Amino acid sequence: MRKLLIILFLNSFFAESLFAQKINESYRLPIQKTSSTIEIDGALTEQAWLDAEVATDFFMITPMDTSFAKVRTDVRMTYDDENLYLLVENFHGIPGPYMVESLRRDFSFGKNDNFLLFMDPFDDQTNGFSFGANAAGAQWDGIMYNGGSVDLSWDNKWYSKVTNYDDKWVFEAKIPFKSIRYKKGITEWGINFSRLDLKTTEKSGWAPVPRQFPSASLAYTGILVWDQAPPQVGANVSIIPYALGGFRQNRSEGEDPVYRKEVGVDAKIALTSSLNLDLTVNPDFSQVEVDRQVTNLDRFELFFPERRQFFLENGDLFASFGYERIRPFFSRRIGLNAPIQFGARVSGKVNKDWRIGAMNMQTEEVNEDALPSQNFTVLAAQRRVGARSNIGAIFVNKQSLKYNPDPNSENPIYSQFNRNLGLEYNLATSNNLWTGKVMGLKSFGPDNTDNGFVQAANFKYTAGNLTWEWQHEYVSDKYTAEVGYVPRNGYFKINPKIGYRWFPTSEKILSHGPDVSSTSYWNKSGEFTDNTSFIAYNVKWRSQSTFMLWTAYDYVELQRPFDPTNYSGETLSAGSKHKWFAWGTEYTSKPQSIFTYAFSTRMGGYYADGERYNVSGELGYRFQPYVSIAMNANYNRIILPEPWFTNNFWLVGPRVDVTMTNTLFFTAFVQYNEQIENINLNTRFQWRFKPASDIFLVYTDNYLPAPFYTKNRSLVLKFTYWWNL
């Protein structure tokens, strides 16, 4: 194993050195200061646009990446002392109306005719910002991290307008320099433009991107060449106060309504053009959409993503450390059972090579016996190494204040402290063919009870046809991350994967090919406990519809008692062994249709020589661009011997999105979860009366299905205002 890792590391280091030069260095777009005042009206009328250089002759990314795009796109950029401006002419490839899902902000990329800007103002090919719009004018904005991922939960202040013509749609935008972070003094930014035209099913980019990578890949950006260094905008302070009123009531406990009258404030202070201080006092996140429920048949805790705005900018510094199921820091642990009183965070770039992050949050004492006041501190740093790789470090501390546990309790419900210290190397070569990570974590707790260790690594190679990956993980049985997400410990895991794609010259099929993977676990004693061996065959049509057929073999030796229904309370014993075969299908229809659908099936064995059958589906219909209707349904039938017998679990979720304008939104959805015997109703009205300033009205109910009655209910009216000083 050690020899294999050394070989992989040397290969990756050689590959990074070999491709150190920026790939699309020759794609350069000059930008000069505007020669006239610009009005954001979606029209190419000002002299500044006639004077600007034009980025055109886009390259096709899909269905093929070997030719120029057939659909024409022209991009112009300019700036003044306060704003960056963008104007895009998106010409129609074939006659017919545009295709969009709705006017919903941060729309689904694959279901909308759209144009996106990917911007690397640090010129590190790793971090940046994305802005864009669909053909009906819905905005898209997000922060970029890990060289090509976009977090759309980030939201900021900018302006745009889309105007439709017979032969094209024009997108014009004004992005204040105060809304982004950038390195002071540099005159070359990484930049690329992406266009998706659903009528022709063509995705294209200004600087060419191989089709195996997303168009957001910062490894393949061209260069935005400034005529002078971007302006320094002086004091950059934003104050974002909120006020809310409402009530909540736990009717199942017979409680009276609790009325809410709250105020709070966030502040964003630019310490430099690329380093930001965020402050919050008495934050409230009532407008954040509730989590989508799932039928939980897993042995371990489920993961739900962070959606709260305060934690998002530069959030990858903290949240991306580790792996999906080994996270030393998971921000949703903060404020989970106790309200946050205040918090502060410094994050961003110090220079081209260094990124830092420091966060401190304080929660309120719920009551002396249940949960004390707690303080959370997270420190993170990244040092760039080579072209796009970096070395990162993290320290996480959770400290319980006024710690007075019950002296008669063998297991207090909270600990005095829990700390994690980690170091990792993130590999990303200039051409993105090699990516990977090597990491180590150490936890510390009182009386050495939580002193554990983690070591893990993965290496991935992604070429035009071939993809392969190796990953291994070791998590000791004493490793504890109370502010993290580590649902399983006391194991060693290996997970090799390989996939191959053929790209035929067929007029209908874009690609097809197999994927093979095997995931195996051993416990702390070195005993083999789990294996999932998976084989799939994938087909993707030029229309963008997809199909997958798969089969899998599972073996599990339970390390602790487990209820295979997560419902009955009856458990299989620790040490019992189970194995089964299963197979299934997945299909997603082409996104161009007004009516879309997707389904998946699963049938085969299950625990205790049982059987499990699953069918899930999604139906969507849109009255573009104003209304989008979706219905999700998931059905599980689990057949087991006594005492479980046969269990049927339905999960049904109709949803309606009404976007009256691109500033006025209404969303309503219902979630019926038979496994937890709950019906959830959530409605949210949002009026964005100014950029990044909103009024929300949110109503939530939870019901017991039978007999039907309300368990709890809440109503909130919230006002937020973004005020630039």
Query: What is the band of 17 on the pLDDT scale with cuts at 50, 70, 90?
Result: very low
Q: Provide the pLDDT for residue 113.
A: 94
pTM: 0.86
Q: Provide the pLDDT for residue 255.
A: 87
Q: Provide the pLDDT for residue 633.
A: 97
Q: Provide the pLDDT for residue 411.
A: 54
pLDDT tens figures, 532-554? 999 999 999 988 899 999 999 99
Query: What is the band of 286 on the pLDDT scale with cuts at 50, 70, 90?
Result: confident
Distances 561 to 414, 566, 573, 575 between C-alpha atoms, Å: 24, 11, 5, 8
Q: Which helix (H) or strand (E) holds 8?
A: helix 2-18
Query: What is the band of 496 on the pLDDT scale with cuts at 50, 70, 90?
Result: very high
The tokens for 89 are: 């002419």
Q: Is residue 607 part of a domain?
A: no
Q: Is residue 674 part of a domain?
A: no
Closest CA to 357 of 316, 328, 399, 324: 316
Rg (CA), the chain: 26
Same domain, 216 and 323: no
Same domain, 191 and 309: no
Same domain, 316 and 412: yes
CB atoms within 10 A of CB 527: 10
pLDDT at 206 over 60: yes
Q: Which residues contact 415 (CB under 8 A, 6 or more apart)?
A: 400, 445, 446, 450, 482
Query: What is the band of 294 on the pLDDT scale with cuts at 50, 70, 90?
Result: confident
**Mean pLDDT, range 668-691, rounded to an integer:** 94
Written as one letter, the residue type at 358 is A
Same domain, 179 and 30: yes
pLDDT at 670 over 50: yes
Written as one letter, the residue type at 347 is S
**Residue 453 belongs to domain spanning:** 301-460+468-487
Q: Provide the pLDDT for residue 412.
A: 58
Same domain, 211 and 349: no
pLDDT at 724 over 50: yes
Q: Provide the pLDDT for residue 8.
A: 43
Q: Provide the pLDDT for residue 12.
A: 46
pLDDT tens figures, 604-631? 999 999 999 999 999 999 898 899 999 9
**Mean pLDDT, range 4-12, rounded to an integer:** 45
Task: Name the phi and psi angles at 365, rounded to 5.
Answer: -75, 125
- Average pLDDT across the chain, whole number: 91
Q: Is 509 helix (H, G, I), strand (E, B) or coil?
A: strand
d(CA 653, CA 413): 35
Q: Provide the pLDDT for residue 518.
A: 98
Percentage above 90 pLDDT, the chain: 71
**Mean pLDDT, range 240-250, rounded to an integer:** 94
**Mean pLDDT, range 229-250, rounded to an integer:** 89
CB 474 within 8 A of CB 456: yes
CATH of the domain at 174: 2.60.40.1190
Same domain, 218 and 315: no
Q: Provide the pLDDT for residue 369.
A: 59
Task: Name the phi and psi angles at 329, rounded to 5.
Answer: -135, 130
Q: Is residue 156 part of a domain?
A: yes
Same domain, 362 and 476: yes
Can you point out the beta strands (E) in 501-626?
509-523, 528-541, 546-557, 577-588, 595-606, 610-623
Bridge partner residues of 639 (DSSP)? 611, 646
Q: Provide the pLDDT for residue 4.
A: 41
pLDDT tens figures, 376-418? 999 999 999 988 899 999 999 999 987 776 656 555 556 789 9
pLDDT at 195 over 70: yes
Same domain, 324 and 185: no
Q: Is residue 420 part of a domain?
A: yes
pLDDT at 31 over 90: yes
Same domain, 200 and 310: no
**Mean pLDDT, range 150-157, rounded to an integer:** 87
The tokens for 136 are: 């009906």
Q: Is residue 625 part of a domain?
A: no
Q: Provide the pLDDT for residue 405.
A: 67
pLDDT tens figures, 416-470? 899 999 999 999 998 889 999 999 999 998 877 678 999 999 999 998 899 999 9
Question: What is the total count of domains within the chain?
Answer: 2
226, 255, 285: which is the final residue of a domain?
Answer: 226
pLDDT tens figures, 631-653? 999 999 999 999 999 999 999 99
Exposed/middle/buried for 86, CB within 10 Å: 0-12, 13-18, 19+? buried
Q: Is residue 367 part of a domain?
A: yes
pLDDT tens figures, 310-334? 887 788 889 889 998 999 999 989 9
Q: Is residue 293 part of a domain?
A: no
Q: Provide the pLDDT for residue 392.
A: 96
Alpha-helical segments (H) within 430-470: none
Q: Is 3 helix (H, G, I), strand (E, B) or coil?
A: helix
Sign of CA dihedral 508, 510, 514, 519: negative
**Mean pLDDT, range 61-75, rounded to an integer:** 93
**Mean pLDDT, range 701-712, rounded to an integer:** 89
Same domain, 438 and 329: yes
